[in-house]
Amino acid sequence: MKGIKFWIVFLFSSVLLCQNNKAQNFYGQVSSKKVQVGTAFDFQIVIMVNASNYIPPAFKDFDVVAGPYQSNSTQNVNGVVSQQVILSYGLVAKKEGKLTIGPASIISNGQKLESPPISIEALKGAGAASARDPNKLGGNDLFIKTGVNKSKCYIGEQVTITQKVYCRLQIVGLQKFSQPAYDGF
């Protein structure tokens, strides 16, 4: 009788352990648990299991200002293959207080998995920056530096152009961005 009880407890704990391992392979993370209202922060969903039917969290207390951006990685270490998908978002809190990013969900091996919700504390925005009109920049508030990786090239050769944006205010997102004219390219 003791042997049967042992195996029942063993099987039950094995099932729970497998479920916990799956939950640890699908989760959300933030760049900071304390944020300012109106200031962007990063939120990522990490998926390390075979998944389908991704449903993003409800961002009811947040504005999505960037994303979702997806990055994929695959590792093969001593014949053990592991894959990871990261979905990144830029979020801005709409109001002060304790806010929650709800769970995201996926289907893995026919089972629905949900990421744990994440609590964020949104604090009042910085006084000087929030008093300013974000749609109006002064003459010295924005600077764009353009550089190229080589000064001489032959026809058909790749040339990399890098543009760096320097701004005294926080850039939340680029809207109405138009590419410069690349005459001759």
Q: Quick: pLDDT tens for 141-150.
A: 777 888 888 8
d(CA 182, CA 179): 9
Place of tokens 């200002």: 65
Q: What's 106-174 look like in SS3?
A: EEECCEEEECCCEEEEEECCCHHHHHCCCCCCCCCCEEEEEEECCCCCCCCCCCCEEEEEEECCCCCCC
Least confident of 8-12, 24-28, 137-141, 151-155: 8-12
pLDDT of residue 176: 65
Planar angle of CA 68, 72, 74, nearest 5 degrees: 165
Tokens 């990685």 map to which residue?
A: 73
More confident call, 172 vs 112 = 112
Architecture of domain 26-130: Sandwich (2.60)
pLDDT digit string, tens, across residues 65-122? 888 888 888 888 888 888 889 999 989 999 999 999 999 999 988 899 999 999 999 9
3-state helix, strand, coil in the chain (%, to 5): 15, 45, 40
> Is 61 or 135 the better-scoring residue by pLDDT?
61
What pTM did the predictor assign? 0.57
Strand 105-108, strand 111-114: pairing: antiparallel
| Interval 51-70: pLDDT, tens | 889 999 989 999 988 888 88
